[in-house]
Amino acid sequence: MQPPVTYWCQSLLVDGVAVLGVRVTVGADGRIADRADAVPAEPGDIRLGTVLPGLANAHSHAFHRALRGRTHDQGGDFWRWRESMYAAAHILTPERYLHLARAVFAEMLVSGYTAVGEFHYLHHQPDGTPYPQAHAMERALATAAREVGIRLVLLDTSYLAGGLNTPLRPEQRGFSDGSATGWLARWTSLRDSLAADAAARPAEPALVTLGAALHSVRAVPRDAMSEILAGLPPEVPLHIHLSEQHRENADCLAAYQTTPTGLLDGLGALTPRLSVVHATHLGDDDLRLLGAHGVTVVMCPSTEADLGDGIGRARELAAAGSPIALGSDQNAVIDPFLEMRGLEMGERLASGSRGRFTAAALLQAAGTDGYAALGLGRARLAPGDPADLVEVDAHSIRTVGARTDQLVLAATAGDVRRVVVAGRVVADAGRLVHTPAAALAPPGSPAVLLRNALDTLDTLDTGISPDPPSPA
């Protein structure tokens, strides 16, 4: 455990309100031990400027980062894009995934994300056989997060079918454990393995925790969902893709005579521990059910726009009682500020009115509600909360002149300065510092990590070359 440390913030956004002169004392456990407002700096304080609470990326597929800039001009829709995604998944090994995930997590960290929920289903070799080392892909993700210094909630995902009443396709075999029983057994073994890893590192902050996910009603049959819901400990955060596509809704109605939300309701899955991802195409009854049960909705505006999925009913969901969280999903963009603005701008386009979400509400979605969706507890900068902070340049060409309480509507990831996770400065001005990964990319550049990881993938037959073939 680290010795206590104090940070003095010239301005700290607390519940969306700028509070001046805030000293945050961090305990040895990496949590806030004390907070004093309107106080002067003292010798020994680490001085920060304008500071936000930690920001959570509540839905990520790290390996999709390999598709950035390679699949965005091909036309089609989600289903066509998915074929390129399968090609990227097929070429990953644990070693390659360690390099790629480390680079992606580094990009997230320097962009202002202090925590990430990784919706992970690349469990086995492409033909479905296990890797020789148990949990090799999962351990690669955990190692990457520890080396970078970001909080990781590994949302280990059950993926058992190729569609409703459809067997797995060959390119999906590596995702599956064969049955709900098989997935639960592997999940339990993974939980024990991660706990043993943490116990072997008593001096390090506990950055990696385990959650769970059902991929979708398309990929997990109803009986298997029922078995998994009964077998998971009740405190474990649970996520699922929901009503991302019109086709998913139509297939579910044909198979079960109810919507995906109705199916989950019938299984007793709608509780505050559940987070549904996207929820783009909901009926009125679906919306009311999610709100009545306090289910979090994780929206991913950059991905939903990139894939042409549509604009979800965020404001109505929030009014009905569903907390809204945000994620980067396919990581075509890694910028928490653009996701926040994307949420509000989508609402403006759909409704024709401004201010559907206040700046404070956007910050709550990106921070507090994202942390809660990942099972990380409160993140309101009160004693006992994680000591996760994001310093933003309030005088850049983008932010100069902006009111502090409207900074999230002006800043981008390029304005992030120092990032603090569990009380430690882990990034500064776009570079990693004081972490094992910083030494791998002198001088701590995530761009170098990404280039090295992508160079490895480019030597393989991916079908997603960054450049078009030369004319014959």
Which active-site residues does the annotation give? 278, 329
CB count within 10 Å of CB 368 equals 24
Count CB neighbours of 205 within 10 A: 22
Q: What is the DSSP letter of 311?
A: -
Residues 286 and 254: beta-carbon distance below 8 Å? no
CA-wise closest residue to 142 among 193, 67, 177? 193
Residue 260 in contact with residue 249, Cβ under 8 Å? yes
Q: Furthest-apart CA pair in the chain: how many Å?
A: 70
Name the packing angle between helices 446-458 and 94-110 (round to 10°): 150
- What residues does 276 pair with on adjacent strands? 240, 297
Query: Is the C-alpha dihedral spanning 393, 397, 400, 405 positive or negative?
Result: negative
Q: Identify whether the C-beta of residue 22 lies closer than 8 Å to the C-beta of residue 39.
A: yes
Cβ–Cβ contacts within 10 Å for residue 336, how many? 32
Closest by Cα among 53, 70, 56 to 18: 53
For the record, the structure tokens of 112 come out as 């202002």
Question: H or E element: which one contains 285?
Answer: helix 284-292
* R_g of the chain, CA atoms, integer Å: 21
Report cis status (omega within 30 of 0) of the bond before 443: yes
